[in-house]
Amino acid sequence: MKRRIILSTGNVHKINEIKSILKDMPFEVISKNDLGYEDFDVVEDGSTLEENALKKAGELHKLTKGIVIADDTGLYVDALRGEPGVYSARYAGEHATYADNNKKLLNKLRDVSLEKRTAYFKTIIAVIFEDGSKMTAEGICNGHIAIEERGNRGFGYDPLFVPEGRDKTFSEMSEEEKNKISHRSNALKCLRNMLEEAIENFDNQ
């Protein structure tokens, strides 16, 4: 029988991306919504992405006792000494919209030349197994912050982020093109390798 992995997100894009990377593995992947936990949420008040991802996974594990996966992402801008980082979702305030955050970021970088606008996205994915043991996987995508917003796809800082070696922002790319190189897909590939090792260990026990 396939073991079940529960995703702590209700975000359909994330769910599809995770399902597609983990397809052909011996897991059934479902989301918290499939178990009736649509309203499950935690306050992401950790000082690192790891803390937040582990907290989210840990709280849902307490409720479900299953294998749980949770992620947390931040954008790190070198010229701003790593801002907004762990505060990416609420950079312009507690109830900030994506547009508010992008506006604040552009404003802070208004005197910074294109060469100095280097930045990276980082995603941490935490897994908690049935017995409470934990693992985290990391994925990074390097790039720079554009001078102005471009494109209309994606979400968050996508209209401002140009990945290394490309001319387009994430918002100017198709979902498929972004998912090939994104921080989240890099973290998911790392997670897949870790799960493959974990399966071998379970099988050998």
The residues carrying an active-site annotation are: 72
- By beta-carbon proximity to ligand IMP, the closer residue of 155 and 202 is 155
Least distance CB 196 / ligand IMP (angstroms): 24
Interface residue with ligand IMP among 8, 31, 64, 88 (CB under 6 A) is 88
Indicate the residue whose CB is closest to ligand IMP: 156
Least distance CB 45 / ligand IMP (angstroms): 13
- H helices of 7-114, in order, are 12-22, 49-64, 98-108
Sign of the C-alpha dihedral, residues 55, 60, 64, 68? negative
Subset of 47-86 contacting ligand IMP (CB under 6 A): 72-73
Q: Other C-beta atoms within 10 Å of 172: how many?
A: 19
Q: How far apart are CA 17 and CA 175, in angstroms?
A: 10
Q: Which residues of 19-30 are buried (b: 16+ CB within 10 A; e: fewer)?
A: bebbeeeebebe
* Residue closest to 75 by CA, chosen among 159, 201, 197, 180: 159
Least distance CB 2 / ligand IMP (angstroms): 26
**If binding means CB under 6 A, how many residues of this protein chain bind ligand IMP?**
14
Residue 66: CB partners within 8 Å, gap ≥ 6? 4, 5, 6, 130
89 binds ligand IMP (CB under 6 A): yes
Residues paired with 77 in a beta bridge: 119
Subset of 128-167 contacting ligand IMP (CB under 6 A): 154-158
Least distance CB 71 / ligand IMP (angstroms): 6
- By beta-carbon proximity to ligand IMP, the closer residue of 167 and 203 is 167
Contacting positions for ligand IMP (CB under 6 A): 72-73, 88-89, 98, 101, 154-158, 170, 182, 184
